[in-house]
Chain A
Amino acid sequence: MNNSTAFINALENEAIYIFREVAAQFEKPVLLFSGGKDSITLVRIAQKAFWPAKIPFPLMHIDTGHNFPETIEFRDRLVEELGLELIVRNVQDSIDQGKVKEESGKYSSRNSLQTTTLLDAIEEFKFDACIGGARRDEEKARAKERIFSVRDDFGQWDERNQRPELFDMLNGEIELGQNVRVFPISNWTELDVWSFIEKEGIEIPSIYFAHKRKVFLRDGLIWSHSDYVFQEDDEEVLERMVRFRTVGDMSCTAAVFSEAADIESVVQEIRDSTISERGARIDDKRSEAAMEKRKQQGYF
C-alpha cells in the first residue's frame, strides 16, 4: 500500500486519537469488555492505535453469570489470540457477599447489579480510566455523555455538571479516587460499527447471525428460553430463526427475527431497519428515564 495517502474515515481517526490520549494521560486504564460488537470494535481500534506495540492495558469483563455461552467462549479465544490480559469479576460474588440482592419476579435481571461489581473492581485495581463502547446514538441520556466523563468517588455521573469538551482537547485531570469513563466510539452509529466490522473482517460471536433458537414472546419482544429467564407457564416455547442486535446478558437482551446469516446481510438489515437497537433492550423499557437513572448510579 505504498505510494498512497492514509485517508481513513474520520470516526476511526478520532477513536484512535482518544485511545492514545488515554494511554498518555492515565496511569491505570482498563478496557471494559463484554464480548459484544462494540467492545470487540474497541479492541480492534486499540490494536491499531498502539501497533506494533501491544495494547498497553488489560481488558475487564463484569460477568453477570447469565451470559450467552457463545459470548464467553468468544471472549476467551480473542484474549488468547491477541495475548491480552483479561480480568473477570463476577456479579455472583457481589450477591454472595450480600452487597446486592438478586431481583425476583418475571422481569428479574442481573443487569443493574453489575454496577456494584464494577465499582468494587475499579476500587480493587485502582483503575483511573475505564474505556467503554457506549455510543451517543444509542439512547437519549447517552447523547449527552462526554468522551472523557468524570465520575466521583462513588462512581456517580453528575449530568448537570459536566466538563465542556472543545475541539479535540481531552481534559483527563482528576483527583485521587475519581475515575474517568472514556467512550472512544461516542460518535459512531450502530451502522458505523457494523460497517467497520465488515470492512475489517472482524470475527464476532455467532449469536449476532441468524440461528435457530428456542424463544418465547412477551410484550412484543422475543425472549430467549433459558434457565436464567423467568417464564410463565402459558408462555409457549417456539423454535425460530433469530439473531441478536445487541448483546447484554440473557435476561435483558431480546432477539429479532432474522435470516441474516452473514455480515453483508446483517449490514443490509441494519440499513433497512425501522426499529432502534435499544428497542430490543428490556432494561431500557422500564421507564423513559431508565438509562439516566442507572448512569447516575455508576452504570455504564
Chain B
Amino acid sequence: MEVLKIATAGSVDDGKSTLIGRLLYDTKSLTTDKLEAIEKTSKRNGYDYLDFSLATDGLVAEREQGITIDVAHIYFSTATKSYIIADTPGHVEYTRNMVTGASTSQAAIILIDARKGVIEQTNRHFFINNLLRIKEVVVAINKMDLVDFSEERYKEIKTDFEQLMAKRDYLGQKITFIPVSALKGDNVVNKSENTPWYKGETLLEHLERLDLAAVSNVGTPRFPVQYVIRPKTEDFHDFRGFAGKVYGGELSVGDAVIALPSQTKSKIKEIYFYDKKYQTAARRSSVTITLEDEINISRGDMLVKVGDLPTVEKQFTATISWMDSENLTPGKKYVVQHGVNKVLAKVDHIHHKINPDYSGIDTEVQSLGMNDIAQVRFKLNKPIFYDRFKKHRTNGSFILIDTQSNSTVGAGFIQ
C-alpha cells in the first residue's frame, strides 16, 4: 500500500482539526467507540454538532484550551492509499511545528477561512510550504457555508492567493483550490450540492488521484552509510555489508561508485534486503550493500555514483529555521547533523533575517530567536558531502543540535 504524508496549515479557528475529523468521519475511519466519545464530549460542551476536532487534539492542555499545541499524527486509509496527516498548529509562534510537519510530507493542505480570506498567516503557511519544496499543495477555502457558498467570494480569495504565488521561489509546486465546509462536509469527501459552480474534485478525490512517484522529489542517488554489518560467523566470515537508505535515485549491482570522504572507487557487488539479493535498490529502500573491493568505510561516509559527486566542503550558507528559546548568535558552536553524519559547526555570519510572508523585507540582525528564518553562513570542523536543497531535499538539509542541552534547535536548507 502506498503511503502519502500530508502536512496541514491553518490559523487558529480556521477549522483544521474539524477538517481532519471530517475526513476521518466521511471515510468511515472513526471507530464507534471514538465516535461515541466525541458525541459525549460535544454534548457536554453544549454543541449541537459533532466537534470533530476532539478526534485529534490529544493532550489535556489542548482540550482545555481548544487549541493544538504540538504536531499530532492521524492515520486513515482508503482502498488505494494509506494517509498520514501531520496536524500542525497555526499560531505565529509555532513556525517550528509547521516546518517540522512539512519536512516529512509530500503534500500539504493550507486552510483559509472564507470569511477572512488571505491573511498574513496564510502568507506564512504558503511561504514555509514553498521553502520546504512540497510538491502538491491544496488550498482549502473553508467555512463556505458561512459565506452562502458564494462563488464570487471563492474567486476573490483565489485571486488574492494567486498574487502570492507569483512571488514564490519554487515554481514546480502544484496548487489546487477547493471550496469546502469541513463542519458540514461539503467537498471534503463527498461532492457538495451547494457549490454547483465548482467543477473540480473533492479534497479526497484529489488526494486519491495523486501519483506518489510524481510527488516525490527525485534527484541523484546518495547512499549515506548508517551501520556496517560484520557478522563474523562461519557462514559469513568475510561479509562486510554497508547498511543504509538510498536517497534520491536508484542504485544497481555493477554501478561504479566512489566512497566519500576517502574518494576510493569500487563497484556494487551485491544488494541485500534482509536475506534476499536484488539487482536494484529503489529510492528510499533500506538495504545492505557489499562492494567488489575491500575498502575502509564507516558510519557517516557516503557512496555515490562515479561522475555524480556532491559538493565536498567545510563551509556553506543555509536558510535556517530557528526552533529554540535560546538565541543563535555568531561565533556559537553547534553540532550539524547532516543525514547520519555529525560535524561540529560554528556560526560564521548571519546574513539577514527573512520575513516569511513574501513581504520581501530582510532585516540585518545580530542573533536569531525562536521561529526566525534567516540566511546563515557556517564553518565546519570537517567537510560534509552535500547537494543544494533545491537539487536534493534529503542531502541538502540538516538539523542543528545544541552542544549543551542536546536539543534539536534548528533546521537548515543548504543554498
B is bound to A: yes
Measured CB to CB, the residues of A under 8 A from B are: 1-14, 16-17, 20-21, 23-24, 47-54, 136-137, 139-144, 159-160, 162-169, 171, 173-175, 186-187, 189, 191-192, 195, 273-276, 279, 288-289, 292
A161 to chain B, nearest CB (A): 9
* 8 A Cβ contacts from B189-244 to A: 226-227, 229-233, 235-236, 239, 241, 243-244
Contacting residue for B230 out of A2, A12, A53, A144, CB 8 A: A53
Taking the closest CB of chain B, its distance from the CB of A253, in whole angstroms, is: 15
Task: Look across to chain B and name the residue whose beta carbon is closest to the beta carbon of A280.
Answer: B33
Contact A49 B58 (CB under 8 A): no
- Residues 91-129 of B, flagged 1 when their CB comes within 8 A of A and 0 if not, give 000001101100110000000000000000000000000
Chain A's nearest CB lies how many Å from the CB of B361? 26
Bound complex: CA of A143 vs CA of B70, how far in Å? 10
**A141 to B71 Cα, complex, angstroms:** 11
* In-complex Cβ contact of B335 among A24, A141, A142, A173 (8 A): A173
Q: Given A143-B72, A164-B323, does the pair A24, B408 have CB atoms closer than 8 Å?
A: no
B239 pairs with A167, CB closer than 8 A: no
Q: Are A23 and B70 in contact (CB-based, < 8 A)?
A: no
In Å, the complex CA distance between A8 and B245 comes to 12
Chain B residues closer than 8 Å to A288, beta-carbon distance:
37, 41, 63
Contact B285 A7, beta carbon cutoff 8 Å: yes
Chain A residues near B275 (CB, 8 Å)?
51-52
Alpha-carbon distance between A12 and B52 when the two chains are bound, in angstroms:
31
Residues of B at the A interface (CB closer than 8 Å) are 1-3, 31-34, 37, 41, 56-61, 63, 69-75, 77, 82, 84, 96-97, 99-100, 103-104, 226-227, 229-233, 235-236, 239, 241, 243-245, 250, 271-282, 284-288, 299, 323, 335, 337, 339-340, 393-394, 397-399, 401, 406-408, 411
Sorted nearest first, the 10 A-B pairs with minimum C-beta distance are: A140-B58, A173-B406, A16-B286, A53-B231, A279-B33, A276-B31, A6-B278, A6-B273, A48-B274, A164-B100
Given contacts A10-B3, A169-B337, contact A17 B32 (CB under 8 A): no
- CB of B100 within 8 A of CB of A166, answer yes
Known: A5-B280, A6-B287, A17-B245. A173 touches B72 (CB 8 A): no
Give 15 pairs: A residue, B residue, CB < 8 Å, sorted on A: A8-B273, A13-B284, A17-B226, A20-B286, A49-B243, A49-B286, A51-B229, A52-B241, A52-B275, A53-B230, A136-B73, A140-B59, A167-B397, A195-B1, A279-B32
Chain A residues closer than 8 Å to B97, beta-carbon distance = 164
Contact, CB under 8 Å: A6 / B60: no
Shortest distance between the CB of B321 and any CB in chain A (Å): 9
| Most chain B Cβ neighbours within 10 Å, of A142, A169, A191 | A169
B31 touches A52 (CB 8 A): no
Query: B103 to chain A: which residues have CB within 8 Å?
Result: 166-167
Known: A6-B273, A52-B236, A54-B231. A171 touches B401 (CB 8 A): yes
Q: Is the Cβ of A166 less than 8 Å from the Cβ of B397?
A: yes
Give A163 to B402 CA distance when docked, in angstroms: 11
A14 to chain B, nearest CB (A): 8
**A278, chain B: closest CB distance, angstroms:** 8
Which of B58, B77, B288 has the most A CB atoms < 10 Å from its CB? B58
Per the bound structure, the CA–CA distance linking A23 and B70 in Å amounts to 28
Query: Least Cβ distance of A44 to chain B in Å?
Result: 9
Excluding A51-B229, A173-B401, A275-B32, 14 further A-B contacts by CB distance (< 8 Å) are A2-B279, A6-B271, A10-B3, A20-B286, A24-B299, A160-B59, A164-B71, A166-B104, A168-B394, A169-B337, A186-B73, A195-B1, A279-B31, A279-B32
Chain B nearest Cβ from A146, distance in angstroms: 9
| Known pairs A7-B282, A16-B286, A192-B82; A275 contacts B33 (CB<8 A) | yes
Q: Are A21 and B274 in contact (CB under 8 A)?
A: no
Beta-carbon contact of A52 and B286 below 8 Å: no
Q: How far is the CA of A3 from the CA of B279 in the complex (A)?
A: 5
Q: Are B33 and A143 in contact (CB under 8 A)?
A: no
Specify the chain A residue showing the minimal Cβ separation from B37: A288
Which residues of the partner chain B approach A174 to less than 8 Å between Cβ atoms? 406
Residues of A with C-beta under 8 A to B287: 6
Task: Given the known inter-chain contacts A24-B299, A52-B235, A166-B104, please indicate yes or no for A143 contacting B401, CB distance below 8 A.
Answer: no
Contact flag A189-B227 (CB < 8 Å), given A1-B277, A167-B103: no
A20→B69 contact, CB < 8 A: no
B394 x A167 contact (CB < 8 A): yes
Are A52 and B229 in touch, CB under 8 angstroms? yes
| CB closest residue in chain B, given A277 | B31
Q: CB distance A165 to B100 under 8 Å?
A: yes
Check if A187 sits within 8 Å of B84, measured CB to CB. yes
